[in-house]
A and B are shown apart, each in its own frame.
Chain A
Amino acid sequence: MTRKKPISDRVADWLPRLVMAPSLLVILVGVYLFIAWTGWISVSSSRMVPSYDFVGLEQYYRLWATPRWHIAVVNLFIFSSLFLLVTMGVGLVMAILLDQNIRAEGALRAVYLYPMALSFIVTGTAWKWILNPDLGVQKVVNSLGWEGFVFNWITQPTFAIYTIVIAAVWQSSGFAMAIFLAGLRGIDNSVIKAAQIEGATLPRIYASIIVPMLRPAFLSVIVLLSYIAIKNFDLVLAMTNGGPGNATEVPSTFMFQATFRRNQMGVGAASAMMMLMTVAAIIIPYLYSELKESRNGH
């Protein structure tokens, strides 16, 4: 028993770890080291090229003193709250409607979900065209006889951000629907039957029994949609390119512009760190609770 294991056995013992090692290394570098690196740039005086001196939180002060960044943060707030609310509402309604023994449910589900398979650049291009006041929806309604109808939000600084909400809701509500529908299918039918025997109407049953039972689905949808909202970049770029003026600037477009177009690498890195912290504050507790639950479940 004291004899050492033959070398081939010891290699075999380590094999799983050896197979895992390259991936782990790549993730440690590509995710964690790179985050630290960005953090480092954010406390340096980098402008056009990275320089690795230390200037404390100067770039963060500069960032928060930039009016453009304030617009970006306010826009993100408006965009994400509306986007989350409407997407969840529409997704929930679609899921409930689809859960009523619908014929051709599969086909309808496919129609509601196909936008998720498309690039935001593609859908942004389409929506930009639809919302174009000279040729799109406004013109159609005008030519139908309602001459005074105006729908030119995409060209109005105060309203342009709402057009991005419309496109984003259209693209993502099928996704919310899919998660809610999976949640609904997991609910025992006997609950509904029992409530019906007690004399409750269907809308009541949904409002006071079924929707509260969807809490885990709500949590997932909120977290995943927040993540989509924060990293939203392509859609803004394709629809308004941050304009008119910088009315639809969001943190992701701000970061890109500062870093790659305006030679403010330090400020860009600081804005990236702000975005990362926001995402981390939402995602880490979520992942933690999901992992803990599944471990208790086993």
Chain B
Amino acid sequence: MVTEHGSAARARRIGRLVIYGSLIALAAFYLMPLWVMITTSLKSLDEIYGGSFIGLPRSVTFEAWSKAWSQACIGTSCTGLKPYFVNSLMMVIPAVLLSTGIGALNGYVLTKWRFKGSNLVFGLILFGCFLPFQAVLLPMAQVLGKLRLSGTIPGLVLVHTVYGICFTTLFFRNYFVTIPDELTRAAQIDGAGFFRIFFSIMVPAALPIMVVSCIWQFTQIWNDFLFGVSFTAGDSSPITVALNNIVNVTMGRKQYNVDMAAAMIAALPTLVVYVVAGRYFVRGLTAGAVKG
């Protein structure tokens, strides 16, 4: 009896060991590319060509970072990523705020002020979340041209706001459904109007989903490449397009450390947001899988 108990405990301990071992091995696999990016960006070019790939840099240098930030060539202009980083910021901030604000209003109407056909409206918007953008690229290019917005940051803000509304509406609609109708009905009886209820009841209650929406939109828009590469050229490109141009330079000795530093610069804003507010990011991520 005692030995049987002992062997069961040992089997359990081995099982735990295997589980933790696998989890740690997986974590190492997931962290490896980030590790390689960071260490490579801190090495000198000679050290890289000398054959150090996975190890720590022998001497840490931030030269590649400063090159990527202010000197690397994108096409013929050697300005580094700085102006494109600014472009992305100018694009992402208004687009996030606009799409989140509009999504909040839409979600409010679709849950608390249902009208005939409001379910159809929601369905039409929902499909937009899963639109393969290739199907709208050509007309969008034409319309942006007609509006004289092609190749401009405001043009990209417009595009990201339009297609961002789909997801933000989904977020807020699914969140507001859980707020009891009695709350808004009581406020209505007390004489509060449409906007009064929205600003004094819904908005304060919606802070968590606002964070989710802002983080999701920020990540999506910052990381967008397709719209950027289709609708902009040269100076007005967002950072993802500029990064791709830096990396695909074929002239001369390939500067892998600068490539990696540039990739890290492009990744940092979303990475920081993820580290600070990952919980909210995951909620946005799984929203597409949660019942509508």
Q: Interface stretch among A78-86, A157-165, A288-296?
A: A288-296
Please measure, in the bound complex, the distance between the C-alpha atom of A229 and the C-alpha atom of B39, giving whole angstroms: 30
Contact at A102–B37, with CB atoms within 8 Å? no
Q: Is B267 an interface residue (CB 8 A)?
A: yes
A161 to chain B, nearest CB (A): 19
Residues of A with C-beta under 8 A to B27:
108, 111-112
Contacts A34-B135, A97-B22 known; A117 to B115 CB distance under 8 Å?
no
Contact at A16–B285, with CB atoms within 8 Å? no
B239 to chain A, nearest CB (A): 9
B8 to chain A, nearest CB (A): 12
Number of interface residues of A (CB under 8 A): 98
Q: Is A48 an interface residue (CB 8 A)?
A: no
Q: Is A116 an interface residue (CB 8 A)?
A: yes
Q: Is A227 an interface residue (CB 8 A)?
A: yes
Q: Is B54 an interface residue (CB 8 A)?
A: yes
Q: Is A139 an interface residue (CB 8 A)?
A: yes
Q: Is A241 an interface residue (CB 8 A)?
A: yes
Across the interface, A20 reaches (CB within 8 A) one of B33, B106, B247, B285, namely B106
Residues of A with C-beta under 8 A to B138:
37-38, 41, 50, 259, 265, 268-269, 272
Chain B binding surface, main DSSP class? helix
Q: Is A126 an interface residue (CB 8 A)?
A: yes
Which chain B residues in 244-282 approach chain A with CB under 8 Å?
244, 247-248, 256, 259-260, 262-264, 266-267, 270-271, 273-275, 278, 281-282
Residues of B with C-beta under 8 A to A135:
48-49, 51, 53, 256
Chain A: residues with CB nearer than 8 A to chain B?
12, 15-17, 19-20, 22-24, 26-28, 30-35, 37-38, 41, 50, 93-94, 97-98, 100, 102, 108-123, 125-130, 135-137, 139-140, 143, 170, 174-175, 178-179, 182, 217, 220-221, 224, 227, 230-231, 233-234, 237-238, 241, 251-252, 255-256, 259-260, 265, 268-269, 271-273, 275-276, 279-280, 283-284, 287, 290-291, 293-294, 297
Ordered by A's residue number, 20 sampled pairs between the chains whose C-beta atoms are within 8 Å are: A12-B194, A17-B109, A20-B105, A20-B109, A23-B106, A27-B124, A30-B136, A30-B163, A31-B124, A117-B278, A129-B37, A170-B30, A182-B289, A220-B289, A224-B289, A231-B134, A238-B244, A256-B134, A256-B229, A276-B134
